[in-house]
Amino acid sequence: MSNDSPARNRGVMMITGGSRGIGAATARLAAERGWTVAIIYRDRLHDAQALVAAITAEGGRAQAIAADVADESEILRAFAEADRMGPLTALVNNAGVSGGASRVEAVTASQIDQVFAVNVRAAMLCAREAVRRMSTRHGGKGGAIVNVGSAASQLGSAGVWVHYAATKGAIDTMTIGLAKEVAAEGIRVNCVRPGIIDTEIHAFRPPGQLEQMAKGVPMARIGTPDEVAQSILWLADGELSPYVTASLIDARGGF
């Protein structure tokens, strides 16, 4: 039996936005490598249940927890539920919304509020709860936080979603600041910044546009959720990346 088998219990990894896309790919890979996975989802019950069933069928350990991470009380409830699964050793802040494609002059206050509530406020609150559990300062044994950012934080997403890009810039800053704050407390904090990935966030684009965009990527293709998940798991694994913290890792094919 390999060390990466589900029989090796690495503790609990909580993944927000875990029922589809990058989150679901990360959940599957984490379970394969021995984590018990707390899959946080908002309203994709069928997807979450199917993912748990697939993981358990392969001998892994997973539980789906419904929570709207834009609501602090639901974050607290989700963490309390995950506590019953075992000690938290990793958090993947993956939940995110685009806020809807819009030029700045047409964006509404509610769009801005929503995208910051989910992409920034929720990530910070989830990180707070993870630190309270994992920090040696609070009696924990350490762990890892991996934030899922975006290439948009550097590129700006002009003409499409500057409001979304702004939230991902905030995630970059939070990653660096929090990493330095808890570095001596056994917690590593890093960020993976995907580029053009084949997920539902691009569902608004007309047919053929993604393929056209791929021509501008040096690797000449768009990425997959599984490829991003590999980067996330590398950062979450304290044996593979023990001296890596406050790092922003680009997963964008050179774009």
Q: Which of the four pLDDT bands, split at 50, 70 and 90, describes residue 214?
A: confident
Give me 194's structure tokens: 């995907």
* pLDDT score for 211: 76
Per-residue DSSP letter, 255: -
Query: How large is the average pLDDT for residues 34-43?
Result: 98
49-53, 134-138, 141-145, 251-255: range with lowest mean pLDDT: 251-255
Examine the pLDDT at 128 and tell me if it is beyond 80: yes
102-106, 120-124, 195-199, 223-227: range with lowest mean pLDDT: 195-199
Exposed, middle or buried, 124 (CB in 10 Å: 0-12/13-18/19+)? middle
Specify whether the CB–CB gap between 23 and 16 falls below 8 A: yes
> What domains sit in the chain, N to C, each tagged with a CATH number?
12-251 (3.40.50.720)
Examine the pLDDT at 2 and tell me if it is beyond 90: no
Mean of all residue pLDDT scores within the chain? 93
Examine the pLDDT at 202 and tell me if it is beyond 90: no
| 181, 69, 141, 63: CA torsion to nearest 10 | -160
Q: Which residues are known catalytic residues? A: 164
Examine the pLDDT at 3 and tell me if it is beyond 50: no
pTM of the entire predicted model: 0.93
Q: Which of the four pLDDT bands, split at 50, 70 and 90, describes residue 121?
A: very high
18-32, 180-194, 207-221: range with lowest mean pLDDT: 207-221
* pLDDT score for 136: 99
Q: Which of the four pLDDT bands, split at 50, 70 and 90, describes residue 4?
A: very low
* pLDDT score for 209: 74
pLDDT in tens, 80-90: 999 999 999 99
Query: In Å, how far are 84, 103, 211, 234 from 33, measured between CA atoms?
Result: 20, 42, 33, 11
